[in-house]
């Protein structure tokens, strides 16, 4: 291998696969597929994509990036909304080949490499009647979602993904392979539970597993009147912790089981996951069904059924915003419906996730994710096809977000876009940002891991 640190160059042709893993270069048949991201409109072209098989190869890639000065990106599932998963002109460390999973059924734990997706993990652990909660999308890599916190279908029952993280294997900027947990490098263990990819490459996680033979899950489609939206949120807040919901207020898609006159009209497309006793399911779900569903697809299923197959060619271009709010009353609901109806996007949506439960019982300073008392998480999105329309839809999202603002200034880092330092700080309130900056200075003083929602190392 030939490298020149002063110019930040390297001879890709000289990289040895036995040392680094699979080498994918511009012009290779796999290159375009390997650099593609879930989000559309991003066309990053890395100098090289390297797929390691283990932590030792990850360490060599990290050292390569440090010595050449080339920008380093780390890709788990490729779901970064701003393209952080793939460096434009640098080195992309792609964890796609690292999917080993070791399940301890009796001990209720699992070690997993961080290139495995949430859907793959759920299917494998589900064969044993066991589960760890992730997010709402099966193709998300467990590495990325965990490092940001992990808000998903079991958030009220078992908390965040990081609340089930027991240990991790991390390659730091100096190439060292560290085993971290509550007793070993506890500062780093605190930081990676919500602090994102700022501190190293997570190569393996040890998760707690919960017994869960099956769920009642699927979707309800309800009319999106303001009254129905208020009722849905109130019932989601009052429901047992075994129930988590995601309510998407959006124009009805042209689904064959919906009457044609409903297509394009505002509906609540609600994802439901009830993980409690089967005998209580009908009682728990009854208040939602009383809102008069237009379609009811909630049924008994394995937990992995919440992660249906996705279209491989789906790469949406979207303007979006994330925030937390305290309540949804009639005025808020009327505003949501009015704004959705005013959008000129191909698809506009407001997503409401009622939080609380197990997530809220963890002290705010126990992990880098500090939004433990936030009540409702909101995602706003406008999906469009023509890049020339970007400013228009971004303005719609910004105005919409401003109109919804209440007392909670926070933002969930996994849904944060390229929004500047102030918004990154908002992801880490109550002194968490300053604490993370100190830990960053200890483990990555030169800010090698900067292609993320970056927290620069503290100085002085």
pLDDT for position 272: 98
Query: Which string of b and e fits 75-104 if b means at least 16 CB within 10 Å?
Result: bbbbbbbebbbbbbebbbbbbbbbbeeebe
**Is 414 in a helix, a strand, or coil?**
helix
- The span from the CA of 185 to the CA of 162, in Å, is 16
Q: Is the pLDDT of residue 454 over 50?
A: yes
pLDDT for position 316: 83
Radius of gyration of the chain (CA): 22
- The span from the CA of 198 to the CA of 192, in Å, is 8
> Pseudo-torsion of CA 130, 134, 136, 138, nearest 10°?
-70
Look at strands 91-94 and 72-75 and give their pairing. parallel
CB atoms within 10 A of CB 282: 11
Report the candidate in 324, 112, 33, 365 with the shortest Cα–Cα distance to residue 122.
112
User: Which residue's structure tokens are 């994802």?
Assistant: 271
pLDDT for position 226: 98
Query: Which string of b and e fits 152-169 if b means at least 16 CB within 10 Å?
Result: bbbbbbbbbbbbbbebbb
In whole angstroms, how far apart are CA 54 and each of 33, 111, 161, 288?
22, 13, 23, 46
Grade residue 8 by pLDDT with cuts at 50, 70 and 90.
low
Each residue of 249-292: pLDDT tens digit? 999 999 998 989 999 999 999 999 999 999 999 999 999 999 99
Each residue of 415-439: pLDDT tens digit? 999 999 999 999 999 999 999 999 9
Report the candidate in 267, 238, 212 with the shortest Cα–Cα distance to residue 354.
238
The answer to whether residues 319 and 390 touch, using CB atoms and an 8 Å cutoff, is yes
Mean pLDDT to the nearest integer, 78-92: 94
Token pair for residue 375?
Answer: 């009540």
294 phi-psi bin (left φ>0, alpha ψ -120 to 50, beta other): alpha
Instruction: Name all domains of the chain by residue range, CATH numbers in brackets.
Output: 3-97 (3.30.43.10), 101-211+431-443 (3.30.465.10), 215-415 (3.40.462.20)
Element (H, E) at 278: none
């Amino acid at each position: 291998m030939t490298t020149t640190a002063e110019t930040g160059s390297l001879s890709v042709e000289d990289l040895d696969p036995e040392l680094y893993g699979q080498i994918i270069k511009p012009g290779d048949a796999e290159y375009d597929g390997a650099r593609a991201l879930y989000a559309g409109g991003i066309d990053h072209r890395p100098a090289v994509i390297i797929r390691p098989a283990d932590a030792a190869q990850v360490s060599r890639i990290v050292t390569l990036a440090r010595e050449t000065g080339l920008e380093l990106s780390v890709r788990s599932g490729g779901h970064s909304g701003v393209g952080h998963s793939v460096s434009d002109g640098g080195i992309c460390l792609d964890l796609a080949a690292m999917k080993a999973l070791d399940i301890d059924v009796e001990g209720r734990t699992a070690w997993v490499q961080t290139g495995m997706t949430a859907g793959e993990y759920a299917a494998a652990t589900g064969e044993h009647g066991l589960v760890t909660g992730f997010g709402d999308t099966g193709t998300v890599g467990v590495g990325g979602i965990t490092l940001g916190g992990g808000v998903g279908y079991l958030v009220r029952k078992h908390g965040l993904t990081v609340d089930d993280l027991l240990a991790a294997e991390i390659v730091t900027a100096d190439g060292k392979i560290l085993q971290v947990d509550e007793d070993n490098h506890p500062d780093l263990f605190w930081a990676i539970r919500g602090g994102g990819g700022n501190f190293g490459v997570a190569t393996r996680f040890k998760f707690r597993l919960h017994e869960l033979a099956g769920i009642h899950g699927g979707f309800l489609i309800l009319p999106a009147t303001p009254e129905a939206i208020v009722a849905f949120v109130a019932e989601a807040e009052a429901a047992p912790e075994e129930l988590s919901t995601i309510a998407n207020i959006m124009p009805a898609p042209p689904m064959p089981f919906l009457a044609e006159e409903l297509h394009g009209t505002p509906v609540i497309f609600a994802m439901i996951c009830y993980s409690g006793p089967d005998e209580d399911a009908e009682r728990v779900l009854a208040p939602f069904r009383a809102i008069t569903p237009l379609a009811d697809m909630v049924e008994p299923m394995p937990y992995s059924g919440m992660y249906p197959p996705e279209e491989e060619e789906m790469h949406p271009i979207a303007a979006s915003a994330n925030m937390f709010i305290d309540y949804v009353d009639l005025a808020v609901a009327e505003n949501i419906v009015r704004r959705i109806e005013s959008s000129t996007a191909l698809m506009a949506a407001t997503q409401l996730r009622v939080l609380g439960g197990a997530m809220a019982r963890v002290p705010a300073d126990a992990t880098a994710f500090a939004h433990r008392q936030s009540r409702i998480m909101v995602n706003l999105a406008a999906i469009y096809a023509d890049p020339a329309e970007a400013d228009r839809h971004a303005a719609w999202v910004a105005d919409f977000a401003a109109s919804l603002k209440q007392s909670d200034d926070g933002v969930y880092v996994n849904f944060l876009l390229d929004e500047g330092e102030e918004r990154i700080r908002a992801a880490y309130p109550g002194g968490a940002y300053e604490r993370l900056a100190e830990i960053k200075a200890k483990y990555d003083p030169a800010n090698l891991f900067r292609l993320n929602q970056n927290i620069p190392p503290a100085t002085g």
